[in-house]
Amino acid sequence: MTSLAERAAAAAGRSSDTPADTEADSSTTQFTGAPAPEIDMSTYEVGDQDPEMIPVHLAWLRVRRDIRFIGKGEQYNGGGTRFAFRGVDTVVNVYSPITLKHGVNILPVRTVAVYRDTVSSKNNRMHECTVTCTWQVMGPMGDSLPLLQTCGEALDSADKATAKAQSVALRELLTKGGMVPTQDPDPDSSYIERGEAPARSAASYVEEICEPRTSPGRLRQIHYELKQARLLDARVTNEVGDEEAIGPMVVRIGKERVGADAS
């Protein structure tokens, strides 16, 4: 006679000895490639079109040396944002013939994808995919670098989110693993020395104080600035050509403006 747990497991389509909490989350998908084969290259005869049979770390070094740089030649301009970038197609187009020349293969051996539904800033439904890709870089002799991992993230309104995210992960592998420069100017190549803004003199306020369109509120602000700078007692030439302390001058003109507005 079966137990209640066994009948529930059968209804759910799993065996009774498999705990329910060990089932894979439906939002996470894992793709795993076959184990890398052990390749014996000791008896292989090199052909005229074959790359030089050297260890993978040297072949990868030659790839990096031939790449030299990949500039940010593409422009994004949308949604109020504008920036230069180097897209995956540009990077792959540069890498492909050079890796072929040196007998380097770049293979995805495992991909873990996580999905979720979201909305854009315009409230459109979007599908988001985040992937973690594991890569094998194999040299002409069949040996490999240590496995490498990169991540990619992408949004799409249809069925392209996974492909986009994997493309981003590939671009990150090639640009970061290959240490590919952009030849952009170094941010540290320019240096701006900070300095204190020069303090305003009392005389520099006179024209603004005497301007009939200067509001009483602005005059109060000027009085505060002069007080902070300890310039209230500074002597200036007022609107009639007489010498006067600027603090009392601001107060006097402010009262005149308020009286004129009231009348």
Dihedral pair phi/psi, residue 115, rounded to 5°: -120, 150
Q: What is the pLDDT of residues 139-189, one digit of tens each?
A: 999 999 999 999 999 999 888 999 999 999 999 999 999 988 887 766 666
Each domain of the chain, given as residue ranges in start order, spans 23-34+52-183, 203-262
Q: What is the pLDDT of residue 19?
A: 41
Fold topology of 23-34+52-183? Enolase-like; domain 1 (3.30.390)
Amino acid letter for position 237: T
E-assigned strand segments in the chain? 28-32, 74-78, 81-85, 105-119, 125-138, 148-156, 235-237, 243-245
Residues 6+ apart with CB under 8 A from 138: 36, 56, 104, 105, 106, 107, 144
Spans in the chain with pLDDT lower than 50: 1, 4-5, 8-9, 12, 14-26
Q: What is the pLDDT of residue 84?
A: 84
Q: What is the pLDDT of residue 188?
A: 63
Q: What is the pLDDT of residue 56?
A: 95
Would the pTM count as exceeding 0.75? no
Q: What is the pLDDT of residue 261?
A: 63
Quote the crossing angle between the two packed helices 246-262 and 203-210, to the nearest 10°: 10
Q: State the burial class of residue 216 (Cβ atoms within 10 Å of its Cβ: 0-12, 13-18, 19+).
A: middle
